[in-house]
Amino acid sequence: MAPALPRRVLLQAALLAPAAPAPALAASGRAAAAPLPPAARPLRPFELGEVTLGEGIFAAKRELMLEYGRGYDVDRLLQVFRANAGLSTRGAVAPGGWEGLDGEANGNLRGHFTGHFLTMLAQAYGSTGEQVFADRIRYMVGALAEVRAALRQEPAVLSVAGRFGTAAENVRGAYQYVDLPPAVLGGAPELTLAAWVRPTHHGDWARVLDFGDDTTRYLYLAARDADGVPRFALTTSGPAGEQGLNGTAALPPDEWSHLAVTLAGGTGTLYVNGTAVARNPAMTLGPADLGTPAHAWLGRSHFAADPVFAGAFDAFDAWSRALTADEVASLQGAPAAGSAAGRGDLASYSFGETTGSAFADASGRGLTATLRRTWGGPSHPGFLAAYPETQFIELESMTSGDYHRVWAPYYTAHKILKGLLDAYVCTDDDRALDLASGLCDWMYARLSKLPAATRQRMWGIFSSGEFGGIVEAVVDLHTLTGRPEHLALARLFDLDRLIDACAADTDVLDGLHANQHIPIFTGLVRLYDATGESRYLTAARNFWGMVVPHRMYGIGGTSSTEFWRARGSIAGTIDETTAESCCAYNMLKLSRMLFLHERDPEYMDYYERALFNQVLGSKQDRADAEKPLVTYFIGLTPGHVRDYTPKQGTTCCEGTGMESATKYQDSVYFRAADDSALYVNLYSPSTVTWEGKGVTVTQTTDFPREQGTTLTVETAGGRTASFALRLRVPSWATDGFRVTVNGRRAGGTPVPGSYLTVSRTWRAGDEVRVDAPFRLRVEKAPDDPSLQALFYGPVNLVGRDARTDHLRVGLYRNAALSGDLLPTLAPVPGEPLHFTLDGVEFAPFHEGTEDPTHAYVRRYEPEVVFGGTASGVANPAKSDGTTLLDEIWAGAPFAGRGALVARVRSAVAAWVSAGLLSRADGQRVVATARRASYTD
């Protein structure tokens, strides 16, 4: 059992309390009138630590993720934050994929994965109480606090060992450079520039130095040009007019190299490590032609697209003459001051400083240099990110999406904010709340100053304007701080045209980016909780109904290539990029929230479907120390093989996948607000501790490998406890669902898609047995009924076959009188939930293997067959694709053979009358139905 978590309890109480919310701020900054509070939600969830998972498929999947969480080097996650702040990255290498500067769109989403990881750790600690998770959280929170403090200050030198003494390092991702006074060239007609550098990254066009006015008048020395070699150039007419010198070999990374350039008498020479590698005797331009440049930079280019130099400077010197080859060579073995060349008379920096942001000039000219950030600084109060504020600023003027410029900065802010909130409520670390609150203060300071029209435009921009579940997280923060500006901030993300359309039940989803919009509605439910505005809840409810079932694949997933298509388009949208995993995560969250409000069993039917299929199936069934092994998309095309390491392993879906795998138990049980009832929503081996009633309830089951569960009630001190036990009757449980209490049949009639209530005074040791027999059934794609998914109870069965066309499957041949199609399949001995049909194995979707799978099959029933007996009659079909066998078996279940034969006779008569079947063939069909053998 996890330790008491008072902050989590506080947040839980605040989330559910029906008290009036704090007033929102009006546009003027004054408090607006508070709306009436919403009605109290009828249901309450349990904390993760109050529900313990027993042995089973969920616990096994979770353990794989817990092991990853225990061992992954969190300094790697912090690398991008520390780099952005100019702090030491402690030698850590950023994760691949979206979390590094080399990831997609130059890593413009970096930092999001760290937020997910914090949430995963918090959930792991809340579930298990293992100290390792709390320790890792506190370490990460402390590091992020140091990052924010550094961002609020001028950049400070990062001192490292140099070529001769101490050097100044510019960490990749720090956006730092050295700003020299513009007078550095001094108008000298001749010039020598020399520097010791240690590049740490192969960044094409990263400048060692760039002195000039703009992209027209400049001279530069690049550590690496497009061909990978050093280059010096001088121009007064832009790139086309450059007069240059090119090296012959790339500078080795992580090693010290000496670069020098001399200009005199129309000749330029480039030296690398004391050796002349290029000479140009036809240079008509000299440094004096630039005059006094507007800027003199080390490490920064006048071309905005060029990277900042990543590496270290040990020395930079400038002379007002051309050094001889011997003098350049003498710089290899000693600092300039001890060489034949002597210190530069125009400028001389040794970079021996160990603190501050200023570098002393030893030339005698007093040209003190300053360490700066390309994006300015310090940052505004509260800002915390793994990249500069520039993404947020640029978004405000964008009219269309371009994730290479701006990639969802508020989405990333949400992940960080949520991770900090989860860290706070599970560890009581006040630093986490301070960071979260400060981040929201910073966002409010920006967004509250923008015109409403600007915000509406921003939030409607694909990808760049995506903000994830930030509204939900901000409202959660408000429940902790009570500060009105935090609730006001949550409302600044309202995307009115979407909210209004959904509130009016107008389906506008076609063409929208799915996961950009699903978490908007989880935020709206939380806004309803905080404000009582019914528009928010109505919009969320109606939106859910536009997705389920109209845009839902059999496994519970939604979206195709991340987007929604027309309502009812399922077969027509199946491809390699269906069912983005983040969408399932957020649809589960929304379903849970809506059920807590409305108690509609349809939400839990969906929850079970998506959880037991897509969510479980998106996690690979093996351990990995470096990757969470979670799918991005689950392709539903024939023969698809799941990719558990998409885009190098740090996508949004792997982030939500980490979270899903550490909160499997969060919706197994709910309780009534007045503690009068316990809802059992999912059948899963687990124990819930209901402290308010002094009761524990344990489910003992191997569900779904077992078709039912046993619940045992224990009471504190042997006392009794009165409450209603509400047991979910899944919509698929159409035959044989049965409940007994201490061996005696419980009252009430189970209705599929509802809850069966058992009310009594419970005593220690009372035992409730739930039997929920599975049947094999099909679910048809609405736009192509012949394309079908197979389900056995809640479990989607997928064919394992490498073929890339749809498997053709016939299921009626041995159908039972109950309508169960399972007798047509053969069970695999020793492999629960595994079957074979026509040489193809069918297995649960939730098994995280790399087998090629068929989640949809093509239904093919060419001949009328009953009980394995063939009639010799082709199975006719109507124009809509409905076959004779479809119409016959639509009448199941049948009380006996006679009832089936009567159905066959009636259907045959109608089809003969319609001219769809000959009288002779109809007689053969009826005769076959009479003589065939059937199972019940």
Distance CA 732, CA 384 (A): 48
User: Is residue 91 classed exposed, middle or buried when 0-12, 13-18 and 19+ CB atoms within 10 A define those classes?
Assistant: exposed
User: Is residue 4 classed exposed, middle or buried when 0-12, 13-18 and 19+ CB atoms within 10 A define those classes?
Assistant: exposed
Distance CA 139, CA 118 (A): 11
Distance CA 771, CA 766 (A): 17
Distance CA 324, CA 311 (A): 28
Tokens standing for residue 306? 């060029």
Question: Cα dist. 552→301, 565, 569, 614, 781 in Å?
Answer: 50, 11, 9, 11, 10
133 backbone φψ class: left, alpha, beta (φ>0; ψ -120 to 50): alpha
The closest alpha carbon to 528, from 594, 606, 440, belongs to 594
Going by their DSSP bridges, the two strands 795-800 and 840-844 should be labelled as antiparallel
Residue 18 pLDDT? 34
Distance CA 46, CA 219 (A): 66
Residue 782 pLDDT? 96
CA 657 remoteness from chain centre:
7
User: Is residue 730 classed exposed, middle or buried when 0-12, 13-18 and 19+ CB atoms within 10 A define those classes?
Assistant: buried
- State which residues of the chain have pLDDT below 70: 1-40
Q: In the chain, what are the domain boundaries?
A: 158-373, 870-936
Question: Cα dist. 440→197, 414, 443, 450, 490 in Å?
Answer: 40, 10, 5, 16, 9
Residue partners of 749: CB distance under 8 A and separation at least 6: none
Residue 7 pLDDT? 52
158-373: CATH class? mainly beta
Helices (H), 267-369: 325-330
Distance CA 71, CA 75 (A): 11
Helix (H) or strand (E) holding 875: none
The closest alpha carbon to 819, from 734, 898, 911, 704, belongs to 734
Residue 118 pLDDT? 98
Residue 11 pLDDT? 56
Tokens standing for residue 452? 């409403």
Q: Assess contact for 925 and 884: CB atoms under 8 A.
A: yes
For the chain, state the CA radius of gyration: 34
Tokens standing for residue 738? 């049965």
Q: Indicate the SS3 state at residue 486.
A: helix
Distance CA 707, CA 311 (A): 62
Residue partners of 786: CB distance under 8 A and separation at least 6: 780, 858, 859, 860, 881
The closest alpha carbon to 225, from 245, 240, 211, belongs to 245
Tokens standing for residue 83? 């780099």
Give 880-919 as a DSSP string.
TS-BHHHHHHTT---SSHHHHHHHHHHHHHHHHHTTSS-H
Residue 377 pLDDT? 83
Distance CA 377, CA 342 (A): 36
Tokens standing for residue 567? 């309502």
* DSSP type of residue 23: P
Distance CA 750, CA 733 (A): 9
User: Is residue 84 classed exposed, middle or buried when 0-12, 13-18 and 19+ CB atoms within 10 A define those classes?
Assistant: buried
What is the pTM for the complete model shown? 0.94
Distance CA 504, CA 351 (A): 65
Helix (H) or strand (E) holding 519: helix 514-531
Give 609-659 as a DSSP string.
HHIIIIIHHTB-SS--SS---B-S----STTB---SSGGGG-SHHHHHHHH
Give 730-798 as a DSSP string.
-TT--S--EEEETTEEPSS---TTEEEEEEEEE-TT-EEEEE----EEEEEETTEEEEEEEEETTEEEE
Question: Cα dist. 795→29, 440, 502, 617, 833 in Å?
Answer: 53, 42, 31, 11, 8
381 backbone φψ class: left, alpha, beta (φ>0; ψ -120 to 50): beta
Distance CA 632, CA 656 (A): 10
Residue partners of 492: CB distance under 8 A and separation at least 6: 444, 447, 448, 455
